[in-house]
Structure formats: C-alpha cells, structure tokens
C-alpha cells in the first residue's frame, strides 16, 4: 500500500500526488522545506520547525497559504493518515505553478505538500564507531548570495559537496567559507570539543540554524557543558578532542577522522556520548502528540 500524501489541502494516494512541470519549485528550486522527525507518537520540535519554515518563506517573500496552526494540523493529519508513530516528515512549500520565466509574481498559488514516511538511518554501530569525513573544495553559499539560514529547495550547493564526498566514499562533507572557516555539512551542523569546551560555528557566518544544533546547545546548558558559538578553521578541527554532526535525520553522530587526521583518540568522545544519550532521552519524552489516547 502506498503512502497518503498531503497535497494542497487534500490527502491523496502516492500515485496521484503529482506536481506541474511548471511549478517553480521544480523549475528553479524556488521554495522552502523542513525535515521533521516523530518518535514514539510524538513529533519532535514541531513548533521550532514550523517557525523556521515560516521564517525561510518570509525571507524569500513566499506567502504560505496556511497559518501555522493550520499547517500543524495538516502535518498531524498526514502522519495519522499513514498510521505512523515513528516517522520522517517532509514538509514542502513551493512558489507554485508559473510560466517559464523566473518571475515569482507569475505564480499565484504556492504548492504545499507533506510526506510522512519512515527514514533510513545510519547503522546503529556507526554511532559508537564514528564517521570519517572530509572537507571539500565547494564552499558553502555566502550569506550575501543565498543565506544558508534559508532552508530553500535550492540544494545544489550541498549536492556538489555531497558528490565530492561520494567520490572518495565518505558519508558527509564539511563545507568551509571562502576564508577557510568551517561552516557545516551538506545536511548536518558540526560541533567540536576542545579542552572541554563545545564549539559550533555561529549562524551569522552562514550556517543553517539547525533544530538539532539548538537542542544540543540547550542540552549542553543543562549538563553544565561550556558551549560557545565561535568561528574556527580546519586547524581547530584537526586538533579537536571530539567532533560530531547534528541533524534531524542523523541526530548526533560522532566524527573520528577528518581529511585523514584522527580526531582525539579515534573513538567517539565522552562529551559527544553524554550529549547523544541526553538527546535520545529527550526524543522519547518530548514532542507534540500525534494521537489522542486510544486513537491508533
């Protein structure tokens, strides 16, 4: 049985969920999106994801045809229709159908669709073994061109970096800015630990304000781990005691090798493991309930 997809106000079968070839989301990557997780019947950080979606849309002057409350209901309805308790939810708003020119004023109605499905995860053992990653030649988009804080459908910058990682068969790529400062990965934020201090690049430098990143910063506060948003280069990365990536899909995943340099002692670090544990605990108990008791 196929999935039930939310498309412009209606739930339709997967086969019927079709979008026009004139949709500017497709023609130009003109649109915004979110990737959201549900754990054990609870949607994790739903309000935060909706806030970011509406901020991304505002930044590109895209008026979403639903208010946040209606969007929240649409998300819940889609997850319920697919009878999911653990899910990966993709929420997309495109500029909609227009003509072949790129003028967004020719697109009268944004397209909204929601896919609630499951997710293929990194194997569990990798979280205890750690990843090997590289820094890549493709720089992250600059703030003055396309601010990476806009979670837009235009992911070619990230895809180019992903191709560079694929070519040497590593699962993620660390992207830098033109000055060589570390920004983020193709689909994850990055953290390092040096001398007991947790450090992640500040968003003004040109990184997505990741929801998982923010959760980790909050958890660090609770666990009394000194955390800072600070600019750092590959030098600090290579000399870090610990390194990990964060994202809705990846959660918190340790990195043990960067550009052939072993990080710390080559195993996930103590602070990384503490944060992973705290994060998983949080996902089990916090979130927007999908079902009222006895509904599923």
Residues 120, 161: Cα–Cα separation, whole Å: 21
Using CB under 6 A, pick the residue from 208, 252, 275, 278 that binds ligand PMP: 208
Q: Considering the complex, state which of residue 37 and residue 97 has its C-beta at the smaller distance from ligand PMP.
A: 37
Spatial contact of 250 and 188, defined as CB atoms under 8 Å apart: yes
DSSP E strand boundaries for the chain: 4-7, 10-13, 31-39, 42-43, 87-94, 111-117, 131-135, 173-176, 182-185, 189-194, 197-200, 227-229, 242-247, 251-258, 261-262, 288-289
Q: Which stretch binds ligand PMP (CB under 6 A): 64-72, 95-103, 121-129, 182-190?
A: 182-190
Given 191, 213, 258, 264, the residue binding ligand PMP (CB under 6 A)? 213
State the Cα–Cα distance between residues 173 and 66, nearest whole angstrom. Answer: 35
Could you say which of 78, 111, 141, 158 contacts ligand PMP (CB under 6 A)? 158
Q: At what angle do helices 46-59 and 68-81 cross, to 10 degrees?
A: 120
Cβ-based nearer residue to ligand PMP, 190 or 256: 190
- Decide if residue 254 touches ligand PMP (CB under 6 A): no
69 in active site: no
- Please provide residue 149's backbone torsions phi and psi, each rounded to the nearest 5 degrees: -70, -20
List, in order, residues 6 or more apart from 29 with CB less than 8 Å away: 152, 153, 154, 155, 156
Does residue 189 bind ligand PMP (CB under 6 A)? Answer: yes
Minimum gap (Å) between residue 260 Cβ and ligand PMP: 24
> Is 188 one of the binding residues for ligand PMP (CB under 6 A)?
yes
Task: Give the active site residue among 129, 151, 178, 281.
Answer: 151
Binding residues for ligand PMP restricted to 6-65, rule: CB under 6 A: 35
Are 258 and 199 in contact by the 8 Å Cβ rule? The answer is: no
| Residue showing tokens 């499905």 | 117
Out of 248, 254, 264, 271, name the contact with ligand PMP by CB under 6 A.
Answer: 248
Quick one: 20 or 149, whose CB is closer to ligand PMP?
149
Which of 23, 30, 172, 184 is close enough to bind ligand PMP by CB under 6 A?
Answer: 184
Q: Which parts of this chain interact with ligand PMP (CB under 6 A)?
A: 35, 158, 184, 187-189, 208, 210-213, 246-248
The residues annotated as belonging to the active site are: 151
């Amino acid at each position: 049985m196929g999935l039930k997809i939310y498309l412009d106000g209606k739930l339709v079968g997967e086969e019927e969920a079709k979008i026009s070839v004139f949709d500017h989301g497709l023609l130009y990557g003109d649109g915004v999106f979110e990737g959201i997780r549900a754990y054990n019947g609870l949607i994790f950080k739903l309000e935060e994801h909706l806030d970011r979606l509406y901020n991304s849309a505002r930044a590109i002057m895209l008026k979403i045809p639903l208010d946040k409350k209606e969007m929240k209901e649409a998300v819940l309805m889609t997850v319920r229709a697919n009878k999911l308790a653990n899910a990966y939810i993709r929420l997309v708003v495109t500029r909609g159908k227009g003509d072949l020119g790129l003028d967004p004023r020719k697109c009268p109605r944004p397209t909204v669709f929601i896919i609630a499905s499951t997710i293929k995860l990194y194997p569990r053992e990798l979280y205890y073994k750690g990843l090997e990653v590289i820094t890549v030649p493709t720089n992250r988009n600059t703030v003055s061109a396309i601010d990476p804080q806009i979670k837009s459908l235009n992911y070619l910058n990230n895809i180019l970096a992903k191709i560079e990682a694929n070519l040497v068969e590593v699962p993620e790529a660390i992207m830098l800015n033109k000055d060589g400062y570390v920004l983020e990965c193709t689909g994850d934020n990055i953290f390092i630990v040096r001398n007991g201090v947790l450090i992640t690049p500040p968003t003004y430098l040109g990184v997505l304000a990741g929801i998982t990143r923010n959760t980790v910063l909050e958890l660090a506060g609770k666990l009394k781990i000194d955390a800072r948003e600070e600019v750092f280069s590959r030098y600090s990365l290579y000399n870090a005691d610990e390194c990990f990536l964060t994202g809705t899909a990846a959660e918190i995943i340790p990195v043990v090798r960067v550009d052939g340099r072993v990080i710390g002692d080559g195993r996930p670090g103590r602070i990384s493991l503490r944060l992973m544990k705290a994060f998983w605990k949080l996902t089990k108990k916090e979130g927007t309930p999908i079902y009222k008791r006895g509904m599923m």
